[in-house]
Amino acid sequence: MLEKNRLRIALQKSGRLSSESYNLLIKCGIKINFQHNQLIAFAENMPIDILCVRDDDIPGLIVDKVVDLGIVGENVLEEKLFIKDNVKKKKFYNLLIRLDFGICRLSLAIPKNSAYYGLDSLKNKRIASSYPNLVTQFFYKKSIPFKLCILNGSVEVAPRAGLADVICDLVSTGTTLEANDLKEVQTVFNSQACVICRLGHIENSKQIIINKLMNRINGVIKARESKYIMLHAPISKLNEIISLLHGAENPTILKLAGEKNRVAMHMVSSETVFWETMEKLKSLGASSILVLPIEKMLE
């Protein structure tokens, strides 16, 4: 049974966002016992219930206030909550944070052998897409007429099947387009997974849990981007070494036993450390350079 005073979070049941969404909650310390094919899972250590649904249903569940939070792609949000001719965009949810996964773009693609000289070449063409609202909005703004062919799957085969001249579909690496002899010509919308919160009054007890969860999600994201760096360095080159490590703040300098001219440096960097940087550090005299992942971070 769903209890009213427990926070409800909707996640995609199975698909591209599922495992990263579940893992994010688990990294936030929520103990959930997921059973295969279960619609609802209950957290054991926090007053949180998880609803496992199709991603397309998440915007509606938020608008109808059935759930308090949801993790969903911005593409689905925009498509589902788009209202034709809405001049003043009505607010349906609060976007709390972008999660840096589920990164993709909704793009227009045409057969490789078709000529393309800008968007005008798509005038009056048949465009197949599962995103009728986003496509319509895009072409409406450009004042380019087109014919819409709504398909809910296998959009990429539409040109070969003679159903459409152009497709508008989600792309991440481009391999699906490549495999179907299509070329990407224009991005329509950039997307990633995000946490959204319903509008309206939220009980204090629930708001406390939301705040706690959002702090932890922030910590997980920060930790994912950050690295712990340890190295030994000649004292004479400390400044040059620090300036190479962008995003590293206030390094800790430690004495090295039996060494007068070298010290150990420990620091957290908010950026990935590339091999090129490590090689430069080495050429400045640094040694024993370690770059470690950080699991959690609370500032």
Residues that bind ligand ATP (CB under 6 A): 12, 15-17, 54-56, 73, 75-76, 102, 104, 170, 172, 191
* Cα Rg of the chain, angstroms: 25
Q: Which does 170 bind (CB under 5 to 8 A by kind): ligand ATP, Zn ion, none?
A: ligand ATP
Please, which residues bridge with residue 31 across strands?
Answer: none
User: Of the listed pieces 26-34, 51-59, 165-173, 205-213, which binds Zn ion according to CB under 5 A?
Assistant: 51-59
SS3 for 88?
coil
CB of 38 to ligand ATP, least distance (A): 15
Maximum Cα interatomic distance, the chain, rounded to a whole number of Å: 78
Which listed option, Zn ion, ligand ATP, none, makes contact with residue 107 (CB within 5 to 8 Å by class)?
none
Tell me: does residue 55 bind Zn ion (CB under 5 A): yes
Q: Which residues, in sequence order, are CB contacts of 297 under 8 Å at separation 6+?
A: 219, 222, 223, 226
180 vs 277 by CB, closer to ligand ATP: 180
Q: How far is the CB of 55 from Zn ion (least distance, A)?
A: 4
Could you tell me which of 165, 123, 127, 130 has the C-alpha nearest to residue 144?
123
| 8 Å CB contact between 99 and 22 | no
Ranges assigned E (strand) in 192-280: 193-198, 227-234, 248-255, 262-269
Q: Which does 135 bind (CB under 5 to 8 A by kind): Zn ion, ligand ATP, none?
A: none
d(CA 77, CA 230): 42
**Tokens 């001219």, located at residue:** 261
| Residue 56 contacts Zn ion per CB under 5 A | yes
Nearer to ligand ATP, 103 or 208 (CB): 103
Would you count residue 78 as binding Zn ion (CB under 5 A)? no
Nearer to ligand ATP, 16 or 232 (CB): 16
To ligand ATP, the closest distance from the beta carbon of 115 in angstroms equals 27
Interface with Zn ion (CB under 5 A): 55-56
